[in-house]
Structure 1
Amino acid sequence: MTAIKACLFDLDGVIVDTAVYHYKAWKQLANSLGFDFTEHQNEQLKGVSRVRSLELILGWGGVTKIADEQHELATLKNTWYVEMISKMTPAEILPGAKAYLEECRAAGLKIALGSASKNSPLILERTGLTSHFDAVIDGNSVTKAKPDPEVFLKGAEALGVQPNECVVFEDAVAGIAAAIAGGMKSVGIGSPELLGDADVVVTGLDKMTVGMLNTL
């Protein structure tokens, strides 16, 4: 068995929970266009890019917009979202996440962020976690969305390790699929029913130890 040398973490739903802010911003946009947006629909946007999320929402609302209009709407949603996350604090780090990052560091593991969010640097800054990561690969660094493994492969490259020496922590089906496609081990954060393809599933990083990585 290849020894794990690096941990690659998704951000939303793993380290912090910004889903509520995405939901509020998308809902505000949908309402401005004359229709509603539900929490159930929001769940279907996990791990999905901003552009694709907008396409889905417009489809649910029965609204058609040309490309330029879609770009304006996506930008508007992001403006509202950034206003919200600019007020985040370290109190919004998910239970056990900071402690687990520190445990990984103490064990000599390399640590990278692998997130679709283009706002990852701001979120890390606001929550005081920037220094906990050796590399940040986010929506500004990649051209292909999960389940394509690009974000995690770039993370491994930035850390100077091979893909099979990495374990990915993800809360989205597309993220687990990306880890598998990249030849990496994976830990699902959430429901075993949804994330059953992961090597192991836990409810949060507060349920993880570095020792558990040796069993993957």
Structure 2
Amino acid sequence: MASSENSVESKSSLTKLAPLEAVLFDIDGTLCDSDPLHYYAFREMLQEIGFNGGNPITEEFFIATVAGKHNDDIASDLFPGDLERGLKFVDDKEAMFRRLAAEQLKPLNGLAKVRKWIEDRGLKRAAVTNAPRPNAELMLSILGLTDFFEAVIIGGECEHAKPHPEPYLKGLEALKASKEHTFIFEDSVSGIKAGVAAGMPVIGISTRNPEDLLMEAKPAFLIKDYDDPKLWAALEELDKSGSR
């Protein structure tokens, strides 16, 4: 698709939401570039136990098997037939991730700008994540976003995690917001699928995951990060629609 067409589409895809009520965010890979830390932790720990014949996992394997998925599903994929071992492994991996995050976690480019845009308009906001609660709370704290979000919905505390729509529907419920006036920021295939299934436009962030894979999940449009001009063109159109 030509970028000019994409830009026209992206401008118009949010205008039907006016007046905007709320914005929902995933956390991992959406608020911060955390995937490299998860990848590092999985690669090191799987190699230690001789997974894949002792060869390090590839980034492609990580994207296909791990990125955006809930830990219960990751555990059963990595350790079929031994779920108990899988769950213990992912718990240990999360502890390693938290140690790495405490030293290395950085916000995605432009996050402060989009935060200000949301605060200036008094919009409701929730974080909706498949990360375990200790991870989610740590990341929000490091990013200075603990007080920014009115609700934090954890996939593992719902009956179904993403790609099921339930976590995003719970986010709406917690904010008392309408899906007709809310959009989502997401960076993974499972997260985009969850948001689309919940009936909201999803802006996909292609910092790490391949654009063609993300597009298959049917986001409204893709951006590189929050500095992407495509995002600001769409938000400007949305502002105009809301003030007509």
Distance of aligned partners of 1:31 and 1:123 in 2 relative to their CA distance in 1, 3 Å threshold: same
Please give the TM-score of this superposition, normalised by the length of structure 2. Answer: 0.78
User: Hey, what does 1:61 align to over in structure 2?
Assistant: none
User: Hey, what does 1:33 align to over in structure 2?
Assistant: 49
User: Hey, what does 2:7 align to over in structure 1?
Assistant: none
Mapped to 2, the partners of 1:167 and 1:31 lie a distance apart of: 39
Please give the TM-score of this superposition, normalised by the length of structure 1. Answer: 0.87
Structure 1 residue 192, shift from structure 2 partner: 4.5
Q: Percent identity among equivalent residues? A: 29
Residue 66 of structure 1: which of 74, 82, 92 is its match?
A: 82
User: Hey, what does 1:144 align to over in structure 2?
Assistant: 160
Structure 1 residue 22, shift from structure 2 partner: 0.8
Q: Comparing 171-180 with 151-160, which one deviates more in the overlay?
A: 171-180
Give me the CA root mean square deviation: 2.0
Per-residue CA deviations over 1:50-83 (Å, capped at 9, x if unaligned) read 222233334xxxxx66232222212221221121
Structure 1 residue 195, shift from structure 2 partner: 2.7
Equivalent position amino acid for 1:211 in 2: E
Matched, 1:116 2:130: yes
Give the length in aligned residue pairs.
Answer: 208
Contact kept? 1:112, 1:155, Cα under 8 Å: yes
Per-residue CA deviations over 1:29-67 (Å, capped at 9, x if unaligned) read 211211221111112222111222233334xxxxx6623
Matched, 1:195 2:214: yes
Q: Comparing 195-204 with 150-159, which one deviates more in the overlay?
A: 195-204
Per-residue CA deviations over 1:179-200 (Å, capped at 9, x if unaligned) read 1111111111115423331112
Q: Comparing 104-113 with 80-89, which one deviates more in the overlay?
A: 80-89
Residue 108 of structure 2: which of 94, 97, 103 is its match?
A: 94
SS in 2 for 1:205: coil
Q: Comparing 171-180 with 131-140, which one deviates more in the overlay?
A: 131-140
* Structure 1 segment 45-84 matched on structure 2, within 5 A: 45-58=66-79, 66-84=82-100
Equivalent position amino acid for 1:20 in 2: P
Q: Which runs of 5 or more residues in structure 1 are unaligned?
A: 59-63
User: Hey, what does 2:178 align to over in structure 1?
Assistant: 162
Structure 1 residue 10, shift from structure 2 partner: 0.9
Distance of aligned partners of 1:213 and 1:42 in 2 relative to their CA distance in 1, 3 Å threshold: farther
Mapped to 1, the partners of 2:101 and 2:211 lie a distance apart of: 29
Structure 1 residue 87, shift from structure 2 partner: 2.2
Distance of aligned partners of 1:68 and 1:198 in 2 relative to their CA distance in 1, 3 Å threshold: closer
Distance of aligned partners of 1:79 and 1:65 in 2 relative to their CA distance in 1, 3 Å threshold: farther
Structure 1 residue 21, shift from structure 2 partner: 1.2
Q: Which has the higher helix share?
A: 2
Name segments (4+ residues, structure 1) moved above 3 Å: 212-215
Contact kept? 1:187, 1:199, Cα under 8 Å: yes
Equivalent position amino acid for 1:40 in 2: E
